[in-house]
Structure 1
Amino acid sequence: MAEDETQISPPESLLRLIENLARFHREHEEYYSQAPLRQAGDLQARSRALKALADRWSVIDVNEQPSTIAFAGTEDLNAPGLTAESGILFMEGEGEPAEVQRLRREVALLADDLEQTGVWLTGAMARAWEMAGGLAAYPALADLLGERHRIIANDWQSAGLQVLVARLLRRALDLLARVDFAPAALRADLGGVRTAPSYLYAASELLDRAADLMTESATLVHDNERRWRVFRARVRALQST
């Protein structure tokens, strides 16, 4: 009889391990089902700022006689309402606005964080996939194997999205690096070939797509919440018997 029970239900040590994973990984994923949504919102705000500047720079006639007063706001380069929303302010006699520099730093930092997390999660899910296959030896968990593998598949797909988002963000930064945001250089471009708006539009579109994929990542992780609850409930029931 003891041998039959061993074949049906996992040993107590394995049940404790599974219960631990189900409890803490569920809590971990609760965070990662929300954080990407906030990050996506931040990316969309940055994208709107770039589009506002591109809209403005696509149609304005540059001021050929800019103000000689240092730190005065540039009448031609600043997009209406954008300074109040984003803090981006182009000033006479200055270089690239500090807010644009900060935007680029924050996007670069997010790209680094997402790539690091995505690479780690990809490796973790490869290991989890192998471990989950071993659970097939226990008939008491057979009806939950679909749930467990779906959790892993969702997380694996989320990991891939995070790595892709990092690539999109870095390419957006590459495009922004093509623009000299100093007022004098911008006026020279806008008075001639006018390429700055095109680069800003392209960068903003990449940020938009990155935000969309981050939302998808959060949705995938959120789909696991009920599956973790079901899995943990079965494990606890087996432990009690």
Structure 2
Amino acid sequence: MPDDEVRLTPPESLLQVIDNLSKFHREHEEYYSQAPLQQAGRLQARARALKSLADRWSVVEAGETSPIAFAGTEDLNAPGLVAESGILFMEGEGEPAELQRLKSEVAVLADETQQGGEWLARAMEQAWDMAGNLAAYPALADLLGERHRIIANDWQSAGLQALVARLLRRALDLLAQVDFSPAALRADLRGERKAPAYLYSASELLDRAADLMAQSAILVHENERRWRVFRARVRELRSA
């Protein structure tokens, strides 16, 4: 290859690195274009459960405590919700285990989402610098827009993940204002009915977090073709 062409093309060592990144990061992003959609669906289901309880507690009259231990509370259980979510309020018991699990799962998701967003933001800092260095090679000049768009999409996704984590934690803060024991809920039903308001607001935050997770997945999914085109050029240059 003539010397003037050599200067147009990145060295083989750099092409090898780019080829590796293009292959494995594309595969990595294929996963993260789907996983957030599944998580968003689960978040929406949790939000629906909270809304069902809030709907029920907004209109039902508080019942009397039954002497039958472990009997389901007719007033506190929302129609159809027990079969859908497993959340069952029982006489003589405290907060349902399924509701505790719901909050625990949301807390874990908040931590995982924050960690993932922070990692992705750091990775995009490095990717941005590397992509800028590729401007020295005209053989890749027409694809630098594609590469920077990939980085921009991933960086935006990282920001969305950080916001999702905040929304999830604030939803948990709101749920923490509610005492979910049957005795406390019945007292609330006979009083100011504060619990439904907290549940509605918490569910709305979960819904918004789910929407943003879906947006994050869409951004990452948009990169699939760009990775494919970019890698095809790199492999072409390596084989030349």
Confirm or deny a common fold (TM above 0.5): yes
Once the two structures are TM-superposed, the CA of residue 54 in structure 1 deviates from its matched residue by 0.1
Partner in structure 2 of residue 144 of structure 1: 143
Once the two structures are TM-superposed, the CA of residue 66 in structure 1 deviates from its matched residue by 1.9
Structure 2, unpaired ranges of 5+: none
Where does 1:161-176 land on structure 2 (aligned, <5 Å)?
A: 161-176=160-175
TM-score by length of 1: 0.99
Where does 1:9-20 land on structure 2 (aligned, <5 Å)?
A: 9-20=9-20
Partner letter of residue 53 of structure 1?
Answer: L
Partner letter of residue 175 of structure 1?
Answer: L
Once the two structures are TM-superposed, the CA of residue 7 in structure 1 deviates from its matched residue by 1.7
Partner in structure 2 of residue 75 of structure 1: 74
Q: What do you get for the CA RMSD once the two structures are aligned?
A: 0.7
Distance (Å, rounded) in 1 between the aligned partners of 2:211 and 2:190 = 35
Partner letter of residue 217 of structure 1?
Answer: S
Partner in structure 2 of residue 110 of structure 1: 109
TM-score by length of 2: 0.99
Once the two structures are TM-superposed, the CA of residue 213 in structure 1 deviates from its matched residue by 0.2
Distance (Å, rounded) in 1 between the aligned partners of 2:2 and 2:123 = 34
Where does 1:157-236 land on structure 2 (aligned, <5 Å)?
A: 157-236=156-235
1:185-210 deviation digits (Å, cap 9, x = unpaired):
00011110110000000000000000
Distance (Å, rounded) in 2 between the aligned partners of 1:122 and 1:48 = 32
1:44-64 deviation digits (Å, cap 9, x = unpaired):
00000000000000000001x
Aligned-partner SS, 1:128: helix
Partner letter of residue 103 of structure 1?
Answer: L
Distance (Å, rounded) in 2 between the aligned partners of 1:172 and 1:7 = 56
Q: How many residue pairs are counted as aligned between the two chains? A: 240
1:100 maps to 2:99: yes
Identity %: 78
Distance (Å, rounded) in 2 between the aligned partners of 1:91 and 1:6 = 76
1:3 maps to 2:31: no
Once the two structures are TM-superposed, the CA of residue 2 in structure 1 deviates from its matched residue by 4.3
Partner letter of residue 54 of structure 1?
Answer: A
Aligned-partner SS, 1:201: helix
Once the two structures are TM-superposed, the CA of residue 6 in structure 1 deviates from its matched residue by 2.6
Partner letter of residue 153 of structure 1?
Answer: A
Structure 1, unpaired ranges of 5+: none
Distance (Å, rounded) in 2 between the aligned partners of 1:103 and 1:129 = 38
Distance (Å, rounded) in 2 between the aligned partners of 1:79 and 1:208 = 20
